[in-house]
């Protein structure tokens, strides 16, 4: 691997007119991550000593969206062509070593082809691909000995040159000394009146140098996004490849075409995932986890043997082993569910711990609560955690039974083994081991009462 003294320049100044968008093209998302972030992440895997991103359209919207990155930002105020774009980066490049030029709108870039390209040359090398329909691309012109002579842009190409199917992917490796010399000689006398980076190929040939090519057969890895359709197409490629990787890791997918991972999903053995699930951020699923259809799970870890039924929504939560969740459960940030607990339908849990073996099975809100072991929370129980200004905690100790339709007005503690009668509004601590109830005293029946009739 020759990634020593490597600089990487990512071109990301273009508008992307065909996206029909108010946003710069490279900020559109694929698998939940901006196109540019994909390219930066791939670039960093090559261990360069510097990454320079050339931005332009949209002003500082692009650098602002990626402030977490330690990279060098260079503005190209006017988009005068790819050669002009690279020229803006030149002051930041090392005097020796190589530069790899990448495009900010080619998200599925393949690290292996980049390494192969870098290995092939110390002067100038092109990553090329054969396209059934090469329209619009720069054609690779070779001589009878198959040596590369030039790249001719589609609009400047002759009829014969347009028949060439080998095209420039835009990914180029070049020595820094030569790049600097060649760029200073670029002109814009061509069909688009642009400074073409690709003109450096003819300059190299003119200098008597050999231009190397690495030909990739993975078209998607060099495909640029120019339209929303392109974006959707590459999203599917990404998702299909990711689904294959999950199956290779031991997951059973009901349909590999109907799973979306927008982040990183790690799976144990014999994980089963039904159709229509979306995973975001970092999600880990332990061995034998089962996930029903149409669940959305974000930044969560799910322990071994836990079953999650349909339409469950989980965001920033930890679920331990052998739990049962859903259908229609909602875990919000800070929910921590211990082993063998059950969270049933239409139950919302936020910033709360639910202890081992405890059950909250129906229609409840558990917010800012600490629930111990083997607690049963009846249907329709609400922790009233908010007085309109401040939030307070509810503590429910081990082996408590909360009757249905109970309001627990926090701050409040329900002592170990206590039972709360159904329909109670609890505003004071309930002692351990006792039955506590607080509901309207009198149950009346009016024998003479008649239902109203329609007038």
- The contact set with Ca ion (CB under 5 A) reads 224
CB of 180 to ligand UD1, least distance (A): 18
Residue 315 touches which of Ca ion, ligand UD1, none (CB < 5 to 8 A by kind)? Answer: none
105 annotated ligand-binding residue:
yes
CB of 237 to ligand UD1, least distance (A): 17
89 annotated ligand-binding residue:
no
Q: What share of the chain is helix, strand, coil (3-state, %, to 5)?
A: 20, 35, 45
d(CA 292, CA 118): 46
Binding track over 410-449 against ligand UD1, x by CB under 6 A: ----------------------------------------
How many residues of this chain bind ligand UD1 (CB under 6 A)?
Answer: 27
Residue positions annotated with a catalytic role: 362
Binding track over 102-131 against ligand UD1, x by CB under 6 A: -xxx--------------------------
Distance, first Cα to last Cα, the chain: 89
Residue 379 touches which of ligand UD1, Ca ion, none (CB < 5 to 8 A by kind)? Answer: none
d(CA 132, CA 166): 9
d(CA 222, CA 172): 12
- Give the footprint of ligand UD1 on residues 50-89 (CB under 6 A): 54, 76, 79-82, 84-85
d(CA 340, CA 349): 16
User: What pairs with residue 252 in β-bridges?
Assistant: 272
Q: Are the C-beta atoms of 121 and 173 separated by less than 8 Å?
A: yes
Residue 153 touches which of ligand UD1, Ca ion, none (CB < 5 to 8 A by kind)? Answer: ligand UD1
CB of 34 to ligand UD1, least distance (A): 13
57 annotated ligand-binding residue:
no
d(CA 263, CA 246): 13
- 29: Cα within 13 Å, side-chain hemisphere: 9
Q: Which is nearer to ligand UD1, 139 or 330 (CB)?
A: 139
The DSSP bridge pattern shows strands 124-130 and 166-175 to be antiparallel
CB of 160 to ligand UD1, least distance (A): 17
The DSSP bridge pattern shows strands 359-362 and 342-345 to be parallel
226 annotated ligand-binding residue:
yes
DSSP state of 210: P
d(CA 93, CA 114): 19
124 annotated ligand-binding residue:
no
**Element housing 414 (H / E):** strand 412-414
d(CA 284, CA 303): 8
The structure tokens 């835009």 sit at 170
Q: Are the C-beta atoms of 160 and 60 separated by less than 8 Å?
A: no
310 annotated ligand-binding residue:
no
Residue 11 touches which of Ca ion, ligand UD1, none (CB < 5 to 8 A by kind)? Answer: ligand UD1
Q: Give me the residue whose beta carbon is nearest to Ca ion.
A: 224
Helix spans in 121-257 (H): 176-183, 200-206, 228-248
12 annotated ligand-binding residue:
yes
Which member of 167, 225, 246, 341 binds ligand UD1 (CB under 6 A)?
Answer: 167
Q: Which is nearer to ligand UD1, 4 or 18 (CB)?
A: 18
Q: Which is nearer to ligand UD1, 103 or 347 (CB)?
A: 103
Which member of 129, 197, 201, 273 binds ligand UD1 (CB under 6 A)?
Answer: 197
From 382, 403, 324, select the one nearest 358 (Cα to Cα). 324
Q: Are the C-beta atoms of 318 and 299 separated by less than 8 Å?
A: no
169 annotated ligand-binding residue:
no
Q: Which is nearer to ligand UD1, 171 or 363 (CB)?
A: 171
Q: Which is nearer to ligand UD1, 84 or 298 (CB)?
A: 84
Please report whether residue 38 would count as binding ligand UD1 according to CB under 6 A. no
81 annotated ligand-binding residue:
yes
DSSP state of 297: E
User: What pairs with residue 284 in β-bridges?
Assistant: 266, 301
- Give the footprint of ligand UD1 on residues 133-162 (CB under 6 A): 137-138, 151, 153
- Give the footprint of ligand UD1 on residues 203-262 (CB under 6 A): 224
| DSSP string covering 180-206 | HHHHTT----STT----GGGHHHHHHH
The DSSP bridge pattern shows strands 369-371 and 330-331 to be unpaired
Question: Which residue positions form the known binding site for acetyl-CoA?
Answer: 379, 385-386, 404, 422, 439
Question: Which residue positions form the known binding site for UDP-N-acetyl-alpha-D-glucosamine?
Answer: 11-14, 25, 76, 81-82, 138, 153, 168, 226, 332, 350, 365, 376
Q: Which residues bind ligand UD1 (CB under 6 A)?
A: 11-14, 54, 76, 79-82, 84-85, 103-105, 137-138, 151, 153, 167-170, 196-198, 224
Question: Which residue positions form the known binding site for Mg(2+)?
Answer: 105, 226
């Amino acid at each position: 691997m020759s990634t020593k003294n490597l600089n990487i320049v990512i071109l990301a100044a273009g508008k992307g007119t065909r996206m029909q968008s108010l946003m710069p093209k490279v900020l559109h998302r694929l698998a939940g991550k901006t196109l540019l972030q994909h390219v930066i992440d791939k670039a960093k895997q090559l261990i360069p000593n510097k990454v320079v991103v050339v931005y332009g359209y949209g002003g500082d919207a692009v650098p602002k969206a990626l402030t977490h990155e330690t990279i060098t930002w260079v503005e190209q105020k006017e988009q005068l062509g790819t050669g002009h774009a690279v020229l803006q980066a030149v002051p930041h490049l090392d005097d020796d070593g190589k530069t790899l030029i990448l495009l900010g709108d080619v998200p599925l870039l393949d690290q292996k082809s980049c390494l192969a390209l870098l290995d092939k040359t110390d002067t100038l090398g092109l990553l090329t691909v054969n396209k059934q329909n090469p329209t619009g691309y720069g054609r690779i012109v070779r001589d009878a000995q198959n040596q590369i002579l030039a790249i001719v842009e589609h609009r400047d190409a002759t009829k014969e040159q347009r028949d060439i199917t080998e095209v420039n992917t835009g990914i180029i490796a070049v020595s820094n000394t030569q790049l600097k010399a060649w760029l200073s000689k670029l002109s814009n006398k061509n069909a688009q009146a642009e400074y073409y980076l690709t003109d450096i190929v003819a300059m190299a040939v003119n200098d008597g140098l050999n231009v190397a090519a690495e030909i990739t057969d993975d078209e998607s890895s060099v495909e640029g996004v120019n339209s929303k359709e392109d974006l959707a197409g590459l999203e599917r490629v990404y998702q299909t490849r990711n689904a294959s990787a999950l199956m290779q890791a031991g997951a059973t997918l009901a349909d590999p075409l109907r799973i979306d991972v927008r982040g990183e999903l790690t799976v144990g053995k014999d994980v089963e995932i039904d159709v229509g699930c979306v995973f975001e951020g970092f999600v880990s699923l332990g061995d034998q986890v089962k996930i029903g259809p149409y669940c959305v799970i974000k930044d969560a870890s799910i322990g071994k043997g836990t079953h999650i039924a349909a339409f469950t929504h989980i965001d920033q939560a930890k679920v331990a082993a052998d739990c049962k969740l859903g259908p229609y459960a909602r875990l919000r940030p800070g929910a921590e569910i211990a082993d063998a607990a059950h969270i049933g339908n239409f139950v919302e849990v936020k910033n709360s711990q639910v202890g081992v073996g405890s059950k909250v099975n129906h229609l409840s809100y558990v917010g800012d609560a600490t629930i111990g072991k083997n607690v049963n929370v009846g249907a329709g129980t609400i922790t009233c955690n908010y007085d309109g200004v401040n939030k307070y905690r509810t503590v429910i100790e081990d082996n408590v039974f909360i009757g249905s339709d109970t309001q627990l007005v926090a701050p409040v503690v329900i002592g170990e083994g206590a039972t709360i009668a159904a329909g109670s509004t609890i505003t004071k601590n309930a002692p351990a081991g006792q039955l506590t109830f607080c509901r309207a005293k009198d149950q009346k029946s009016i024998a003479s009462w008649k239902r109203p009739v329609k007038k």
